[in-house]
A and B are shown apart, each in its own frame.
Chain A
Amino acid sequence: MDALFDEFLHVPARLSVVALLAPADWVEFGFLRDTIGTSDSALSKQVTALCGAGYTEVRKDQDRRARRTFVRLTPDGRRAFRRHAAALERIVAAAAQSPPGTVPGSPEGTATA
């Protein structure tokens, strides 16, 4: 496995949150929830886990009509996401360079059955 590969980030729900946050500064909780297609509680659980790891932070804004929650990547979170994406790119690139009929990742390449 690539050394930059981040097992914690690779959980699909977390990776989706981080991917949505990456191009922006602050992203509203509701946009994350609707885009991923999850529930408030499930998303809240993932955001809390990401906050615990120091990858995201949360801010609550008081609008005229409602209280809005915004999430953003911390600098550490952004770096971790870039490293993880680079690790994924490397895995794909390694496969493209491997001889046909082998599984990349092993030193000699393992023949596919």
Chain B
Amino acid sequence: MNHLDAQSSLDDIRRLQERTREEHLRHGFRWPYLLAVPLALFLALGSTDLGRPWSTLLPGAGLALSVALATMNERRASVRRRLTTAEFLFHTGTVLAAVVLFGVLRVAAWVVFGLPDEGALSQGVVAAAGAALAYAAATPLIRRGARAIMRRQGEAA
């Protein structure tokens, strides 16, 4: 075994590991994920202005739908791996950022457009729609971030 053979083997190892990571990301960001998180965000945040029982039922329905879609997606995956702590924190952070954006949009809906705080076109519904759309639009960035974390952890392992 000379150093050129060793380097060639290492290059092959890295290339193949990258294929596994890419497959995990590709499958993880398929339509069930792209649908699940924004939908859950919209249902959970948009229902805050609807009053009972919708303010209780819709977040629960959104959560149940998200879990069902995520489970279905995971069961069909060719590459299965648990999220690491860093990945969990990253994804939680992206959802929290959407919640913060919801707060900002809600204030804007009230101050700029003078929308009411109840009804089908309330501040909450409009702000939730904006936050959900922003999350969906940011998916390529989220995917890039997830890839960077996965790659860094792979190199550290």
A residues at B contact (CB < 8 Å): 1, 5, 10, 12, 15-16, 19-28, 30-31, 35, 63, 70, 82, 85, 88-89, 91-92, 94-96, 103-105
Chain A residues with Cβ below 8 Å from B79 are 24, 26-28, 31
Task: Give the contacting residue for A91; candidates B6, B78, B81; CB below 8 A.
Answer: B6
Task: Give the contacting residue for B20; candidates A24, A95, A103; CB below 8 A.
Answer: A24
Chain A residues with Cβ below 8 Å from B75 are 63
The CA of A88 and the CA of B7, in the complex, are separated in Å by 7
The CA of A15 and the CA of B20, in the complex, are separated in Å by 14
User: Which of B11-19, B52-60, B92-100 binds A?
Assistant: B11-19
The CA of A89 and the CA of B23, in the complex, are separated in Å by 26
Task: Give the contacting residue for A19; candidates B6, B16, B157; CB below 8 A.
Answer: B16
Size band of the B side of the interface? 20 to 34
Once A26-B80, A31-B78 are accepted as A-B contacts, the answer to whether A20 and B1 lie under 8 Å apart by CB is: no
Interface 1/0s, chain B 61-85, versus A by CB < 8 A?
0000000000000011111111000
Once A24-B81, A27-B78 are accepted as A-B contacts, the answer to whether A92 and B16 lie under 8 Å apart by CB is: no
Question: Chain B's interface: helix, strand, loop or mixed, by majority?
Answer: helix
- Are B78 and A23 closer than 8 Å at their CB atoms? no
Task: Give the contacting residue for A10; candidates B9, B16, B19, B24; CB below 8 A.
Answer: B9
The CA of A92 and the CA of B9, in the complex, are separated in Å by 10
- Are B13 and A15 closer than 8 Å at their CB atoms? yes
- Are B1 and A35 closer than 8 Å at their CB atoms? no
**Inter-chain pairs besides A24-B20, A63-B76, 16 sampled, C-beta below 8 Å:** A15-B13, A21-B20, A23-B20, A25-B81, A35-B19, A70-B80, A85-B10, A88-B10, A88-B13, A91-B1, A91-B3, A92-B3, A92-B6, A92-B7, A95-B3, A104-B2
